[in-house]
Structure 1
Amino acid sequence: MPIEPIDAFVPANGLRLRYRSWQPPAAGSPRVDLPPILLLHGLASSLHIWNLVAPLLAARGYVVTALDQRGHGESEKPDSGYDFDTIIADDRAAVSALEIERPVLVGHSWGAGVALQYAATYPDKVTALALVDGAT
């Protein structure tokens, strides 16, 4: 049976960011020994890039969340604030609002740079990094 994601918006740094969350199936409920996973897309992309990977991770017991970052996908698109510091502040605010504790950050392409900078800025708030095709 496919894992159906939850789609919603979260307030973050004065914006509404769209997110999608995949929960483990009831039989496999979240494993307390596994950290949550936060998926960050690349430039000019969206959370949909993770639609094939995220359910596989959830099926193994992970709680998985993907964000549409500022200006991408269905998140708000302000005229400014596209520097790493602001993007990271957005992402940190979203993580806090969603009560995601010490996620594994997985960043693709530009999202890998965001994940790396996030981890450097908030090292005590990250469990691990996975950088996919990043150009940092």
Structure 2
Amino acid sequence: MPRRSRKPARPTACPCGTGLPYAECCGPFHTGAAKAPTAEALMRSRYSAFAVGDESYLLRTWHPGTRPERLGLGDDRRWTGLEILEVTGGSPLHTTGTVRFRADYADAEGPGSQAERSAFERIGPDWYYTDARHFTP
């Protein structure tokens, strides 16, 4: 009997909500074929990494100064939608940026959402997630 992977199959539509196919949106960031050019693009790609269970990408894009050793993603939460509420800085011309967003999910307790203001820092050409503050939308 073949072994089942814990990772869900790669989606056709990108989970980040741009409307683009996954292979043309966050997929190239996850495989390393491209790098997120802005803090918002990194935020969207990290949300998609949670949605597809790509822990290695999440760790690779976490700032070395705040990165945990591992995340231990579980199969108990399914991410169902992302809404970007505000972006400050984070362009290719900036070295820092913030993205305020709401991420919807479903788990054993039912539907829910998580609202955060995430901070990002660019080191050379690479954007990294540094930390987040939760808030009530």
Instruction: Give yes or no for TM over 0.5.
Output: no
Superposition TM-score, scaled by structure 1 size: 0.32
Superposition TM-score, scaled by structure 2 size: 0.32
Q: Flag the structure with higher strand content.
A: 2
Q: Flag the structure with higher helix content.
A: 1
Using CA pairs under 8 Å that are at least 6 residues apart, name the structure with larger relative contact order, 1 or 2. 1
